[in-house]
Amino acid sequence: MRQTKLPLLSNAPQGGTKQLDVPPRLLLGAGPSNVHARVLQALSTQVIGHLDPVFVDLMGEIQQLLRYLCQTKNAVTLPLSGTGSAAMEAAIANTIEPGDRLLVGVNGYFGARICEIASRYDAEVRRLEKPWGKVFDLNEIREGLERHRPAVLALVHGETSTGALQPLSGIGELCREHNTLLLVDSVTSLGSVPLYVDAWGIDVCYSASQKCLSAAPGVAPITLSQRAIQKRNNRSMRVRSWYLDTVLLEQYWGEEHRYHHTAPINLNYALRESMRMVVEEGLSECWQRHRNNAELLWIGLSDLDLDCYVEADYRLPSLTTIRVPQGINDRAVARYLLTHYNIEIGLGLGELAGKIWRVGLMGFNSRAENVTLLLTAFEEALQNAR
């Protein structure tokens, strides 16, 4: 049979495209972080079906590993297909009904993002404000709960825009006294600092794969307590987002394994491998390693006469913010590190733009040799990038 060439209406890019070639960056910014060779290998494993019995077994293991990392027994604990923002949206969509009052601790960029998303779900958003870089104490939380009587209180555990670590112990009890659900963003804290979802009475906690878990971006853990599930099950209307509806996700990740959407198979392999590595190290040891390397960095910065932005008592080990000294161009320093050392660091975000740098020591990247290299490179960059 004579074959005629099927016509195209648009041409392929002129000259074709080059083979993928990315520089060997050391990612010491606000995320993502580099991944271990074992995680890369997991990523490049052949795809299998999202309902294949082998994948179904892996799903069970991933959920068990997530429960360990979150220190929870919550049945509904799963990796959402999406980034941390998808998990943030899921947390809100599944707890908030239009008109529900949500009190948000806003002491940085991501608290403000929670407000923005919640307003799109028609929550009655109230803000508990604190200057960027500060954290809320129990009295401020108590007063906020008494004044606003919210259905849900949302707090960011590790504020990536400021480098502050919000203490959470005791807040769950206050929330129970006020019949309020506690929602926590652990995107930059899970795996790097103590986080006890059950013991701290957290009702909804979400995170992301690409920061302290050092897996590839694109999957985001979320866990829901019985109280959160009860509120969700008593809703008068369905969860507004079909894709993020945990009722449907539970049917896929739970016993039924009913098709909902095609899970990103390889991202789940990667997440599983990165969590296996945490288990091998021990979660407590992993937290301690993040702390030790952060302290090394803080001492080194002080030797360079650089000031941390956040007070030592509530500094986030996985992300350090450094004040940009007078007369120094923050962008020039970051550019120097990138071009001369292949090191990425983060710049200030929102109202801290131009005022701080953000240095992440997350997951696989939280290692003493990275701290030493960064400090050496930073000293040179400060001399050369005025």
Nearest-CA neighbor of 284 among 111, 67, 129, 68?
68
188, 274, 365, 366: residue in contact with ligand PLP (rule CB under 6 A): 188
Sequence-separated (6 or more) residues with CB below 8 Å from residue 38: 273, 277
Closest distance to ligand PLP from the beta carbon of 136 (Å): 15
- Interatomic CA distance for residues 290 and 365, integer angstroms: 9
- 3-state per-residue secondary structure call for 211-232: CCCCCCCCEEEEEECHHHHHHH
| Structure tokens given for 204 | 């909804």
The interface mask with ligand PLP, positions 159-178, x = CB under 6 A, is: -x------------------
Closest distance to ligand PLP from the beta carbon of 29 (Å): 10
Query: What are the phi and psi torsion angles at 305 (to 5°)?
Result: 65, 30
Closest distance to ligand PLP from the beta carbon of 88 (Å): 5
Closest distance to ligand PLP from the beta carbon of 110 (Å): 4
- Interatomic CA distance for residues 2 and 10, integer angstroms: 24
- DSSP string of 225-259, one letter each residue: -HHHHHHHHT-SS--S-STT-HHHHHHHHSTT---
Closest distance to ligand PLP from the beta carbon of 234 (Å): 28
- The structure tokens 């929550």 sit at 123
Residue nearest ligand PLP, CB atom distance: 84
Closest distance to ligand PLP from the beta carbon of 6 (Å): 40
- CB-nearer residue toward ligand PLP: 83 or 180: 83
The counts of H helices and E strands in the chain are 12, 14
- CB-nearer residue toward ligand PLP: 161 or 225: 161
| Structure tokens given for 54 | 């082998």
Binding span for ligand PLP by CB under 6 A among 40-48, 162-170, 184-192, 221-229: 184-192
- CB-nearer residue toward ligand PLP: 34 or 188: 188
Binding span for ligand PLP by CB under 6 A among 79-87, 294-302, 365-373, 375-383: 79-87
Kindly state the number of chain residues that form the binding site for ligand PLP, as judged by CB under 6 A: 13
The interface mask with ligand PLP, positions 264-303, x = CB under 6 A, is: ----------------------------------------
- Interatomic CA distance for residues 173 and 352, integer angstroms: 33
Which of the residues 80 through 139 are near ligand PLP (CB under 6 A)? 83-85, 88, 110
| Structure tokens given for 326 | 């007078």
- CB-nearer residue toward ligand PLP: 32 or 150: 32
Which of the residues 195 through 214 are near ligand PLP (CB under 6 A)? 208
Phi-psi region of 149 (alpha: psi -120 to 50; beta: other; left: phi over 0): left
| Structure tokens given for 351 | 């109202």
- CB-nearer residue toward ligand PLP: 154 or 337: 154
- Quote helix, strand, coil % in the chain, to nearest 5: 40, 15, 45
28, 29, 31, 286: residue in contact with ligand PLP (rule CB under 6 A): 31
- CB-nearer residue toward ligand PLP: 180 or 209: 209
DSSP state for residue 30 in the 8-state scheme: S
Strand partners for 204: 183, 224
Can you give the binding site for ligand PLP, defined by CB under 6 A? 30-31, 83-85, 88, 110, 156, 160, 185, 187-188, 208
